[in-house]
A and B are shown apart, each in its own frame.
Chain A
Amino acid sequence: MVKTFIGGIHPPYRKEGLSALPIERMPAPKVVAIPLRQHVGKACLPLVKVGERVLMGQKIGDVEANIAAPVHSSVSGTVLSIEPRPHANGKMVDSIVIENDFLDEWHPSALPKPQLDKLSPEEIVALIREMGIVGMGGGGFPTHAKLKPFPSPPIDTVLLNGAECEPYLTDDHRLMVEAPEKIIYGLRCLMKAAGAGKGHIGVEENKPDAVLALKRVAALYSDITITSVAVKYPQGAELQLIRACLGKEVPPGKLPPHIGVVVNNVHTAEAIAQAFATGMPSIERVITVAGGAVERPGNVLVRVGTTFAQVLEARGLKGEPYKLISGGPMMGMAMYTGEVAVCKCTSGILALTYEETGSREAGPCVRCAKCVDSCPMFLQPTTIAHYAMKGRVDDAEKIGALECRECGPCAYVCPAGIPLVQWIRLAKSDIYARQ
């Protein structure tokens, strides 16, 4: 029996060919716009002034807050301006615009860190914050804040998410194939920082090469297990992956640390390894550029602050895309402009044609309960959506609207094409507004 969770869907994966394309490095653009908010939590304040010369890896933004992570310059050059720019979260966010001098001069602070066995857990957590590491699967939650959470039982397991269940995206897959030793090193850093005795990596079955590569490296460590999990969306969601790999349930309203588990993305682990080995903070990442409107799809290593338009120009476009998405097609956000910059938590750029989006008109609910069967959180999406339509916020809260992770299978399977996630999101925002 393959390990998995209850519910979920099997959308077309559209990763054929993409997952075999090696990671290519994209040259840094002439101008980068680095958003001061690339994480969940408080936005950073700029540490540099307009006209100042900054070096690669230099900390250019930080803020005094636990739920926040500093941002670093991804190029060396001159600060042109600090202005609001469109951001992948759909809002305008203050960004530091830097003109690249193409010297790639490193900041003196970017030095390799001591060996893992010479560092204490506290030092590792502090370094992870200093290096600006955030959840790179798309969430963008500051990683250091996950490691020392509110009073909770001791962490016994660090679980790495290598499921990559979103259609199109193959960046994590390529990283697992090409840099398994970095991912394992990052996992060991996280295990030591959290004081966890066990390390776990969950990978979907459709990536046998990644499982093999990870297993080869993990064979050296008896405390690290690689698990194949079923190919199903949303297998990579935190709670669903915990259920599949560890067979545990997180109680409603609680977070994984409550049962002694911390979940991170494999890309985050890779960034940690990179930061410890070379001293390079989180200033570049692999993104998948794909979709029917892209001429040369692929997995691209880009500097943070490169705009979507620059990336798409480098990969070529076949006509005007119907929809531009930051992230995957299930949970990603549609963008209205290419001026949005790649940030630490951008996992992909999708330029989709009309046919690929499967847009349709919404009709009335036919009470088929397909959404109920597909919901991995065991909710009743149609009922919550109907409460949202009628403004019955309290009723929506009573049947667990806040448990919704907005993963989208309900809207995907709905034969009536009702935008269930959007309605539930409205209910959630109304509930939060009331609190």
Chain B
Amino acid sequence: MQLDMRSVIIALAALGGMGLIFGAGLAIAAKKFAVPTDPRYDEVLVALPGANCGGCGYPGCAAYAAAVARGEAGINLCPVGGNDLLVNLAKIMKLEPAAILERQVATPYCDGGAQEAGTRFLYTGILDCVVANAMSGGDKDCQYGCLGYGSCVKMCVFGAISMDENRIPVVNDAKCTACGMCVKGCPKHIFALRPSSMQVHIRCRSHDKGKDVRKKCSVGCIACGLCVRACPVKAITMEDNLAVIDYTLCTNCGLCIEKCPMKTIHGPLSAQSTK
């Protein structure tokens, strides 16, 4: 029994001693061979949201933090962090906070779902917009419209996009961080970022002539120009058969919504996802 106790003590002392020596060695090495890092890098990294979404254009938050600390990247590239982050980063980097941007959200600019827009052929391939688009531009009659196979849902790492039963994407504004993955990934380019306070949207991307739009979709912009005339602040212009709204001028008055004969324009009252 006594012998056993002794071997335990010897083992503990030996291992503990070795631990102390190696620990001391490591501590010396850590001090002696330390790589000097920019302390701001750590601060920036902590301040960043850590979503690793790639919205800034860098592969993850760490890479962006390094670029910011080196002074290579602007401090306003992270769409997820919003204004709070901008202020924080400005403090860390000792910069004047750049023009504070309004929070942006992504919006799908097409409302021609399965009910409103016709199809030209029976698509039997993989249910993915990118694949469907490679097949003669997809099965939708309208070459500009949402294909409805939900690739954007898969792309959104924040789970902000869902497809409604009419096969049109719906963005949850509260979850959207404006990382822009859907804007880049949609093969039909129906997404765009807009200031979150803006509520009036012309939800069509078609540059077809009005007559052709009528044949293909019941909610498409036919370029009649009524909205252009109705707008009191001249925020709407007609560009290549499509009404386009300038969000820097729009006042959310909603007069164009009432005028639009095709119900293409949506606003706060028509609540874009009521369907």
Interface residues of A (CB under 8 A from B): 86, 90-91, 334-337, 359, 391, 419, 422-423, 425-426, 429
Contact = CB atoms under 8 A, between A and B. Distances in A.
Interface of B: 120-121, 124-126, 128, 130-131, 134-137, 139, 154
Contact of A91 (B120, B131, B137): B137
Contacts of A359: 124
A423 B128 CA distance: 10
13 contacts: A86-B136, A90-B134, A90-B135, A90-B137, A91-B136, A335-B136, A336-B121, A336-B136, A419-B126, A425-B134, A426-B126, A426-B130, A429-B130
A8 B273 CA distance: 51
A425 B126 CA distance: 11
A90 B125 contact: no
A35 to B, nearest CB: 15
Nearest to B139: A336
Given A86-B136, A334-B135, A335-B136, A422 B130 contact: no
A324 to B, nearest CB: 9
B26 to A, nearest CB: 35
B124, B135, B136, B137 interface centre (most CB from chain A within 10 Å): B136
B183 to A, nearest CB: 15
B20 to A, nearest CB: 45
Given A419-B125, A422-B126, A429 B134 contact: yes
A422 B136 CA distance: 14
A184 to B, nearest CB: 39
A426 B136 contact: no
Nearest to B124: A359
Given A90-B135, A429-B130, A422 B125 contact: yes
Contacts of A90: 134-137
Contacts of B125: 419, 422
Given A334-B121, A426-B130, 4 more contacts: A86-B136, A90-B134, A90-B135, A91-B136
B134 A336 contact: no
B114 to A, nearest CB: 18
A422 B131 contact: yes
Contacts of A426: 126, 128, 130-131, 134
Nearest to B135: A90
A132 to B, nearest CB: 25
B120 A336 contact: yes
A86 B120 CA distance: 13
Contacts of A429: 130, 134
Nearest to A391: B154
A330 to B, nearest CB: 16
Contacts of A334: 121, 135
Given A422-B126, A423-B126, A426-B131, A337 B120 contact: yes
Nearest to B136: A90
Nearest to B121: A336
Contacts of A423: 126
A359 B124 CA distance: 8
Contacts of B121: 334, 336
Contacts of A337: 120
User: Which 4 pairs from chain A and chain B are nearest by CB?
Assistant: A336-B121, A90-B136, A422-B126, A336-B120
